[in-house]
Every structure is written in C-alpha cells, then in structure tokens.
Structure 1
Amino acid sequence: MCRVVDLQQAVLAKNDGAARALRTELTARGTTVVNLLSSPGSGKTALLERELLLAREQGVAVAALTADLATENDAVRLARSGALVKQVLTDGLCHLEASMLARHLDGWLPEETRLLFVENVGNLVCPASYDLGESLRVVLASVTEGEDKPLKYPTAFGPAHLVVVTKTDIARAVDFDEAAFRANVQRVNPGVEVVLTSARSGDGVGLLLDRARAIGNGAAAHVPVMARPQDDTRGPGPGHAHPHVHDHDHDHDHGPGHTHDEGHVHHHGQPGPTVAQTR
C-alpha cells in the first residue's frame, strides 16, 4: 500500500511541475489557458463554438485545443468559428496531462494568442486530478444530468474556478431544479460562481469569454477550498483531494501505431485538416 501512495504522489508531483512551468511560460507571454471539464454530451463543444465565434468578432486572439479518444468531430465543429483549432487524439487515455499539452502547443500556438480554450476529454473523474497549467478551470454540467452531479463528483466541482450550466433552454422540460443544483455546488465549492447558458438560444453566451478575459486582464480567480497553492502569479491552481492513480508513465513508448501525441490542426479557410506530429 505504501508503494501505491508513493507512486500516486510521484505521478501527480511530476505533472504539477510541468503545469507550473507551462503556466509560468504562458503567463509571461500573455496567454490565458481555460481548462473545460464535463461529462460526455454536456454541450461544451456547442457552447465553446459560440464563445470562439464571439471572441473572433471582438478581435480576441483565441485558439482551442480539443481532446477525444477518437474522431475529429469536435475540431471540425469548432473550426467553423474561424479560430485556430487543434484536435488531440488520446487513443484511449482518459485525460490530458500538462506535459502532453505543452508538447502539443510547442510550435503550434501563435505567440500573440491571448486565450487558449482546452476542451478536455469528456470525463469528470480522470481529468479532475491533473493541473494543465490553466488560469481558469471550468466545470460544465447540462440540465439533463441531475442536480446531484456536484455531490457525486466533488473532485471535479470542488477545485473549479467557475461552474457553467448548459442547455438551459430545456430546463423546464426536464424539471431541472436550479436552486438544488446551486446549493449542491456550494456544498463542495463555497463561493464559486455558477452561470447559466444555452448555446441554442444564446442565453448566457459570452459569460465564459468575459470571465476568461477578466482573468487575463489580472482579475483574481475564485479560490476553491480544495485548491492548493501554486508558485505562479495567477493564483492557485486546481487541487487534488482524491487523486486518480495510474501505474504507468504516459511518456513511454506504447509500440507501433500508438501515440498520445497525434494532433490534427484545423485552420479556417483551408481545404482540410493536416496532421501535426509533436513529440
């Protein structure tokens, strides 16, 4: 059992070091990273597409990196906004890690980028334990997922700087209890802001962009109870109250045909995706 605890600490310590380095580097060049976490089907891609389009209309230098186990579907959708978009295929890995993100950004992310949205793998368990060097961690939940979602997944909602409710246009149809949801969020993350959005109706669209830009302009992020101090200038990073343990190093070679570093880059107006290998 002691060996497992030591391994757990070593895995997360390695990631935390990479996250601190990435956060320091991106902060120095004026890039704010927003880490989006949610269950599959929460509607975060639809909302993110609207936010990217709005950012472009406002003249914000924005980019998005989206991670999935397979397919380029989300990158294709997000590229319709005109923003620079990259698809990362994890080939079965259930989350992103700071070192992976750093490799995918190297040589791809323009220096002038002010906002980078990272759409993490659809999963409220594994991604919650890994700091990506973000300045704003956002957890999204749709009205169809149930008001008790924050209580079931405290390690996701607990360290969040912002909670976003999606698909509010169908809230009445599914009997969503907003007051109960807000109360449950406050039980695991006292003081965190909860915003309501609908990508379909447009309600609340722009709130995520506004919060991200405010952080980039020096506003202080909410400090979650579950957060741990980080040695950066943007405030605390996410905490790891109940870390998810892997007994392997994701930097090792999995053999022919398998890599965690395959990415697909989409540029608005170009004829199709090109494959970018970043190792």
Structure 2
Amino acid sequence: MCDTCGCSITPANAHLVKAHGKLEHTSEGRASIEVLAGLLHENDHQAGHNREHFERHGVLALNLMSSPGSGKTALLEATIKAIGDELKIAVVEGDLETENDAERIRALGVPAVQITTGQACHLDAHMVHDALHNLDLDDIDILFIENVGNLVCPASFDLGHHINVTLLSVTEGDDKPAKYPVMFRAADLMLLTKSDLLDVLDDFDTAKAERHLRELANPAGVMTLSARRPESLETWFDWLRKVVAARRSGEEMNPRVQPDGAVLHIPG
C-alpha cells in the first residue's frame, strides 16, 4: 500500500488517526489528518500548474488507468505504430519498479519517461511534473500517462491531465465497474480490451459491463477493441484525432477526478 497518500487507512483502522487515536499525530507532532489533507491540496495545486504547461504548449494529456495487465502498454504500442507518423506522441510510464514498459515504447522511437514509484500505488501531480522536465512539450501532440496498475487510488489524483481513459480487459470480469465504482465513475472513456479473447471467454458480457458503468450515472463512451486486431482500433484512433482537434481549438477539458475517492484517503 501507498506510504504517502493515506490509502492504507481503512474503515477498520481510521480511528487510530482521528482525534484521541493512538496515531492522531505524526512523529513530528503534526495532526495526521491535516498532513493527508495537505498532501491532496498540494497535489491539486501542482496539477493545475501541469495543466497550464500542457495548454501553453498545445499538448493533450491522457491518463490511462486500469488494473495490472489490462493491455495499456500494448494499446500504446499499437497506437504508435498506426498513427505515430500523424500525431506526435510521448509517454510517461508509472510502475513500482523496472523500466520495462518505457523500454517497449522507446523501441518504437517514441520518447518515454519512466516513473518508478517504489511503494506508491498511483502517480501524483508532482511525479508527472518532474517527468515533464525530460520531454520537449513543443514537439508533442498527445502525452499518454500510463498510471500504475490499480483500480482504486489513481482515480482520486489529478495529474494535470485532460481526460481519463479507463481500460477493462475481458479477462477481468464484466462486473468490475460495479465492484470499483470510484475508478469507473472517473472514466471519461472506457475501453474493453483484449476483445480477441471473447471468442473463448463466454462469461464476459460487454453489454453488462456497460450497464454497470451506466448504473454509476457515467455517460462515458465505451469501445470494445483488441491491440492484436488493428481493424478494431479504428474507432479509438478516430476518437484520438477528434479530441486532439478539440484541444487545439481551445475546448476546455478537465478529468472526472473523484472527490469521494479523496474521502477514502482522508477519514471524515
């Protein structure tokens, strides 16, 4: 669990950091809840600064979120191969350890910055800000931020990006939007990935997955695709072209960051 965002605080142990709790104060004497609130406030401030950077340079920033192994990097590889000559792409990769994903992206001739978070289970705005120092924003149309694989915490942190894209692979089960509502309420677009496996998986219902999303009162678009089947990706590519054009025209874009997710990090 994360050592910095407070996600290790659960309903069962929250009493420890509240008033009169055993861990009410940090070792430095500060109120624990105030520390957590301050971290989230500073994150939002930095996110606003990041977004100003992106908008000044005409960059569309997309935050890719999902569980581990849903196919985020494979989707990026397929996207780069198909439209990398049309749109200038860069990638920020987030993982606890290794540069494996960044190396896969660099092998395609695309700039990629790896953030290794250690024990942190999500990226934050400060990490992304540091990564931007290693990129030429004037030479980027789309910055993909591949967040740490996690269906909870990434939804609660604004990185300064414009749009949340949440992936759900057909191997995970069609009830994930119901089980992880904070993540899927944050989705501005939901991608049902690894659809080539639907031929052999008869227990994943794409209509049911979308219904669970709608039950969260989320009107986000839903696409079913597979990085292994290029013809299934055309709708995704068209969507990217459309949102890049909208960003260039000055359309304001802000992600669906979840305030109830922040509540999970700061006990009431």
What is the alpha-carbon distance in structure 2 between the residues aligned to residue 233 and residue 5 of structure 1? Answer: 37
Listed one character per residue, the Cα deviations across residues 3-33 of structure 1 (whole Å, up to 9, x for unaligned) are 5654443222211111111112211210000
Aligned to 2:112: 85
Of structures 1 and 2, the larger Rg is shown by 2
- Out of 135, 146, 163, the position equivalent to 1:108 is 135
Aligned to 1:16: 44
What is the alpha-carbon distance in structure 1 between the residues aligned to residue 129 and residue 205 of structure 2? Answer: 39
Q: CA deviation at 1:202?
A: 1.9
TM-score w.r.t. the length of structure 2 is: 0.80
Structure 1 29/113 Cα, relative in aligned 2: closer, same or farther at 3 Å? same
Instruction: Confirm whether residue 182 of structure 1 aligns to residue 210 of structure 2.
Output: yes
Structure 1 212/8 Cα, relative in aligned 2: closer, same or farther at 3 Å? farther
Q: Give 2:156's aligned amino acid.
A: S
Q: CA deviation at 1:191?
A: 1.4
SS of equivalent to 2:187: coil
SS of equivalent to 2:215: helix
What is the alpha-carbon distance in structure 1 between the residues aligned to residue 54 and residue 73 of structure 2? Answer: 24
What is the alpha-carbon distance in structure 2 between the residues aligned to residue 202 and residue 211 of structure 1? Answer: 15
Q: Give 2:252's aligned amino acid.
A: R
TM-score w.r.t. the length of structure 1 is: 0.77
Aligned length: 235
Aligned to 2:4: none
Give structure 1 stretches of 5+ with no counterpart.
221-231, 248-279
Aligned to 1:213: 241
Aligned to 2:100: 73
Listed one character per residue, the Cα deviations across residues 170-212 of structure 1 (whole Å, up to 9, x for unaligned) are 1131111111111001111431100011011224324334323
What is the alpha-carbon distance in structure 1 between the residues aligned to residue 74 and residue 166 of structure 2? Answer: 15
CA contact 2:58–2:247 (8 Å) conserved in 1: no
Structure 1 33/127 Cα, relative in aligned 2: closer, same or farther at 3 Å? same
What is the alpha-carbon distance in structure 1 between the residues aligned to residue 191 and residue 41 of structure 2? Answer: 29
Percent identity, aligned pairs only? Answer: 35
CA contact 1:136–1:161 (8 Å) conserved in 2: yes
Instruction: Confirm whether residue 237 of structure 1 aligns to residue 255 of structure 2.
Output: yes
Structure 1 215/148 Cα, relative in aligned 2: closer, same or farther at 3 Å? same
- Out of 98, 115, 124, the position equivalent to 1:97 is 124
Structure 1 187/5 Cα, relative in aligned 2: closer, same or farther at 3 Å? farther
Instruction: Confirm whether residue 29 of structure 1 aligns to residue 47 of structure 2.
Output: no
Q: CA deviation at 1:121?
A: 0.6
Listed one character per residue, the Cα deviations across residues 85-137 of structure 1 (whole Å, up to 9, x for unaligned) are 22221122111101110111114234221110011111111211111111111
SS of equivalent to 1:54: helix
Aligned to 1:130: 157
What is the alpha-carbon distance in structure 2 between the residues aligned to residue 8 and residue 152 of structure 1? Answer: 25
CA contact 1:36–1:137 (8 Å) conserved in 2: yes
Structure 1 190/110 Cα, relative in aligned 2: closer, same or farther at 3 Å? closer
Q: Which has the larger displacement, 2-11 or 155-164? A: 2-11
Give structure 2 stretches of 5+ with no counterpart.
1-17, 20-30
Q: CA RMSD in A?
A: 2.3
- Out of 129, 147, 166, the position equivalent to 1:139 is 166
Structure 1 11/206 Cα, relative in aligned 2: closer, same or farther at 3 Å? farther
Structure 1 18/212 Cα, relative in aligned 2: closer, same or farther at 3 Å? farther
SS of equivalent to 2:62: strand
Alignment of 1:39-54 (within 5 A): 39-54=67-82
Aligned to 1:153: 180
Q: Which has the larger displacement, 64-73 or 197-206? A: 197-206
CA contact 1:51–1:206 (8 Å) conserved in 2: no
Q: CA deviation at 1:246?
A: 7.9
CA contact 2:247–2:253 (8 Å) conserved in 1: no
